[in-house]
Structure 1
């Protein structure tokens, strides 16, 4: 495998591949830097070695292993994951925000830390379509560097108000009839790139050799095709574990049950609470099952 260190130039290339299938020459035309197709092709091949992009064959499927960099390239799931991580100045470009959202954030009367994390939250919501508050905390806060003490402080003091005010965001209503926050925009109308309809941008991280490696709580729940009520219940159980640091299986089941007590939807059956709930939680990053009755949250957020 080649050098895994990404440059700002690499991130700019990845950003322009989002939702597209482009050649090195086409990418060079779209980059603001003065580079030629050969330089772009060299970086693409390095990133292909690291499973961030893939070169496509003539039929649009995965190309040959010994490709020469002259074909069309597309993002892999791991490449999409890179675009979720605002760790450098170039990541601001990678998070392809609609102009009206950029304007709203630039005018927001909040600190830089808050603006940066809300940018990430908007992109997360756009990628997944909808998410509960526990999912937003789990999917966004650990991936950012902020001055907030924990995910709860970040949400209460920053993200809740600012994210709710953004165009194309429909806030949830807590534990009432619809607790999901939703992205209700359109990529063309927003001035962003069109997503590739044949690519699931939500499955953002998979291992080459083993089974799926889930990136966050939302990734687990969507990948497992849970019902709305099951998703609400599992998110609530995760959130109580995150807040406490440790919990028993009975405490997690109680939190899950309470979360769906008044939603008006079809409540999961007892078999789901006794078995499948634990299986879902065990797949979430930072969740450790110590034994049949004890759970631990190993994250520091």
Structure 2
């Protein structure tokens, strides 16, 4: 398994004025402990903090000077997370700010662990049930002015056309022979994205999920939130299960298999295309991670298309 993460700054790297503002939001005096969290793609902070008074929070902070895209994503996440209804199984927002230089989110510190990878059957079933509940709470969308999933994902999922010009040997031989079929299936998946009015996460992986000690699932990291079909997050999480070698069946129950194959095909095209680009600032390992995911989806697609 290829693991990707940003080259993070930590709590101590934040300007004093930013730390002071965060401490006011958390309450309980100065921060006396900060534990940087591994994983994720942002070069900004991702710290579990504790103040002198015992209060805890999860702090994310980034500046465009580190990575402009990461700052834009943080702004999106601050807006989307702050507008989530209380019943949504997402971290509660304690506060945040965007001062034009630093974008900061201060979130509930959720006690829990990520699902195990390779995925295990019980946690796949638990995730499937939790996603059905999440979709119920977020339909119709309670958050105004979100982009549509079709608008957000269609360009990414249409990349088989770009890969048709890949140099010989640069693409898996089976995929090179089946490019027309892969493109057609991805187009069907793209067409299905236009339905639905549910707020979807649109970037679900095991590292964007926490399981509380009581077994409840919490879905974290919402910068890509958009509106789309209520099944979309289940199919996207199924992709993560496939990549890790698990059985995505419980996540795909009741979803049109042709749509599932189309979404997986589109995701594979996206990963293969992105893996061929230079790494963005502060994210040196992301291209290898994307290549690994794209290649891991091809055996599943081959079985689906060729039987």
TM-score (norm 1): 0.29
**Comparing both chains, which one has the higher relative contact order based on Cα–Cα distances under 8 Å and sequence gaps of 6 or more?**
2
* Larger helix fraction of residues: 1
State the TM-score, normalizing by the size of structure 2.
0.29
**Greater strand fraction, Structure 1 or Structure 2:** 2
